Amino acid sequence: MSESFNATEYLVGRRLAAGDGDRVAVRAPSATLTYAQLDAEVGRVASGLAALGVQPEQRVVLCMVDEVELFTGILATMRLGAVAVPVSTMLRGPELAVLVGDSRARLLLTSSEFADTSRVAVATAREAGADVAEVVVTGDDPSGFGSGVGTRTWAEMLAAGEALGGTPPAYDTWDESQALWLYTSGTTGKPKAAMHRHADIRFVCETYGQQVLGIRPDDLCLSVAKLFFAYGIGNSMFFPLSVGAAAVLEPSRPSPALLADLAARHRVTMFFGTPSSYGPLLAAAEAGQVDPAAFATVRRGASAGEALPARMVNGMRDVFGIEVLDGIGSTEALHIYISNRPGEVSPGTSGVPVPGYDVEIRGTDGHPVPDGETGTLYVRGDSICTGYWCRTATNRFVFEGEWLRTGDTYVRNADGTYTCLGRTDDVLKVGGIWVTPAELEERLVAHPSVAEVVVVAVPDDDGLDLPVACVVPRDGHTVDEAALVAWCREGLASFKRPRRVIAIDEVPRTATGKVQRFKLRELATARVHEAPTLEAAH
């Protein structure tokens, strides 16, 4: 029999019971809330949702900026026993329509900034037979959603809740009850909802949050990743609230200057970044655009999403004085399951398994491989989602009993650390020898002219793989193909060198921040066949 457990009570109600009511819980541009104020606001939002007819286990889609409304909306939805579905604010209307329809949500909560996107999404979804019938918009203009759709402003929803009188109690959910769906599409394929239980939230707080990150009640967290990311919701909600700490929310797209301002102004102690944010931070410091002293109060950094190059690990330590704990997690696991540890960082690796998780590296025969040999990474732990919503064939491929097939190629090193070599489907076979993009990318990103790089395979006239490096140059630099190929020859076996190097303006990514290698393959294929070079021919 499952035990009674509600994640919102664990994150907020438990803190009030512990006497933390006067402690700050969240700082946002619109308001700073103590735990007592957060609890009251979550209760108001829960009443509003109940007035709209939200029932336990129904899905509520939230397409909102990182502000108080999104923060309380997620918590209020889970408090009622309904399922919170925060989605990417980078989606276009037709893309959002797919998620609204797929989730079978009848209610969409949206920020005024995305009202136009949501109007397109609702119209498109309803034309396809979706269930969405209610929309709540922050701001003053909920119009334009068409007949048959009930619309309210956020203030009107709260007023409807107050008219009911009283705050609905936390629903008696179980640890096994659905709490949160997070959509993921990987680097290709259709989006799919990873379904997470209330218990999953407690598990990541008590494993990575407390035993690796070492979060404390006096910490203040700042995350580059937004709340709709699994990484972001852990950083800005689950971990700080679980111990009585606080988080800074920022609705704007983060830039090095903005991050520096937020870190200095709020005296942030925990900074959660990604490779695509640490690189620009280092470049901005090098150019004198950011003062590293702005991060003087940060006692710990973290990174996830993709492998953090050793150059950035060392740079953040040397320039900013921040020890960054690089790790790997996934939407399916809710957060990080392999990580470097404080005082034991091994640059260029993902570290070691987080307590509570088991990992295996399996070969093509499905059996574990010895140290030093590459294979596909598998993980098991109690935060693994129960599966993807309505994706039977994919579930049977990805979930094998207790184990999750991550799709990442890894190797276990002699010292017990694990190194990511890229996605399993992205490994190249060059001249009959396997080459991992990550190894070549690590070498290239160490060159002073390179800001970001992604290596993809382009077939030659015989259908054989040619490694092509797609490079984003640093400010003030250009891409010198010959120089970069020579740089790779100096540090790697000759067969691993890129056969072409092409310049790109930016790396295309999915809504969840993953590199869209298939787009770069298309671009690189066109470029190579338009203008082959001697490197491409040898």
Domain ranges of the chain: 7-181, 254-423, 427-537
**Which one-letter DSSP state was computed for residue 11?**
I
> pLDDT tens across 32-52, in order?
999 999 999 999 999 999 999
How far is it, in rounded angstroms, from Cα 430 to Cα 28?
50
Tell the CATH topology of 427-537. GMP Synthetase; Chain A, domain 3 (3.30.300)
- Is there a common fold for 7-181 and 254-423? yes
- Which of helix, strand or coil describes residue 162? helix
In 3D space, the residue among 182, 160, 176, 226 whose CA is nearest the CA of residue 333 turns out to be 182
Mean pLDDT of the chain: 92
**The domain over range 254-423 is classified in CATH as 3.10.250.10:** no
Does position 205 have pLDDT exceeding 80, yes or no?
Answer: yes
> pLDDT tens across 404-416, in order?
999 888 999 999 9
Give the residues across from 399 on adjacent strands: 404
pLDDT of 537: 31
Residue showing tokens 């049977």: 396
Mean pLDDT, range 57-76, rounded to an integer: 98
Ranking 66-75, 163-172, 234-243, 257-266 by mean pLDDT, the lowest is 163-172
Mean pLDDT, range 82-99, rounded to an integer: 92
pLDDT of 458: 87
The beta strands (E) that lie in 6-155 are given as 24-27, 32-34, 59-63, 83-86, 107-110, 134-137, 150-153
In 3D space, the residue among 193, 196, 194, 192 whose CA is nearest the CA of residue 179 turns out to be 196
pLDDT of 33: 98
Tell the CATH topology of 7-181. Rossmann fold (3.40.50)
- What is the separation of C-alpha 208 from the centre of its chain, rounded to a whole number of angstroms? 15
Residue 280: left if φ>0, alpha if ψ -120 to 50, beta else—which one? alpha
In 3D space, the residue among 329, 394, 376 whose CA is nearest the CA of residue 357 turns out to be 329
Mean pLDDT, range 104-129, rounded to an integer: 96
Q: CB–CB of 498/456 below 8 Å?
A: no
- Which of helix, strand or coil describes residue 248? strand
The token pair that represents 529 in the structure block: 């066949």
- Which of helix, strand or coil describes residue 474? coil
Report which of residues 531 and 451 the model is more confident about: 451
pLDDT band at 309 (very low <50, low <70, confident <90, very high): confident
The per-residue b/e assignment along 450-471, b for 16 or more CB within 10 angstroms, e otherwise, is bbbbbbbbbeeeeeebbbbbbb
Does position 189 have pLDDT exceeding 60, yes or no?
Answer: no
- What is the separation of C-alpha 245 from the centre of its chain, rounded to a whole number of angstroms? 21
pLDDT of 535: 42
pLDDT of 538: 33
Sequence-distant (6+) residues with CB within 8 A of 428 are: 434, 435, 436, 437, 455, 457, 465, 467
pLDDT of 366: 93
> pLDDT tens across 340-354, in order?
999 999 999 999 999
Which amino acid is it at 446? A
pLDDT of 92: 86
Ranking 29-43, 209-223, 364-378, 494-508 by mean pLDDT, the lowest is 494-508
Does position 496 have pLDDT exceeding 90, yes or no?
Answer: no
Does position 155 have pLDDT exceeding 80, yes or no?
Answer: yes
The model carries a pTM of 0.85
pLDDT of 533: 55
Alpha carbon separation from 512 to 180, 183, 410 (Å, rounded): 16, 9, 21
Ranking 69-78, 284-293, 494-503 by mean pLDDT, the lowest is 494-503
